[in-house]
């Protein structure tokens, strides 16, 4: 596990140090999962990318579990380059 992910997971207050419901900022997602903040912004505007939690008209967050599940759903199982949704 990379250092950024370890530091972020320590911020949680669950007994195992990890909460799948933890709300991450775009910066957190960028550091932990290697996605750029700009790509996350564009994807959210297009209705693509990991699901967002809209806190207000100018603030969004990402649940750790949702980002992991979204990444897992993007695996190409030999479909000739097409990503299934």
Q: Where are the domains of the chain?
A: 22-71
- 3 state SS of 36: coil
Confidence of residue 2 (pLDDT cuts 50, 70, 90): low
Of the two residues 35 and 14, the one the predictor is more confident about is: 35
Of the two residues 5 and 63, the one the predictor is more confident about is: 63
Q: Are 37 and 26 in contact (CB under 8 A)?
A: yes
pLDDT tens per residue across span 23-55:
999 999 999 899 999 999 999 999 999 999 999
- 3 state SS of 21: coil
């Amino acid at each position: 596990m990379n250092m950024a992910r370890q530091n972020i997971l320590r911020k949680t207050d669950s007994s195992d140090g990890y909460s799948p419901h933890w709300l991450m900022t775009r910066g957190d997602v960028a550091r932990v999962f290697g996605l750029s903040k700009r790509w996350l912004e564009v994807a959210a505007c297009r209705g693509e990318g990991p699901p967002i939690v809209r806190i207000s008209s100018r603030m969004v967050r990402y649940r750790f579990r949702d980002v992991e599940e979204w990444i897992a759903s993007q695996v190409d199982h030999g479909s000739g380059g097409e990503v299934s949704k």
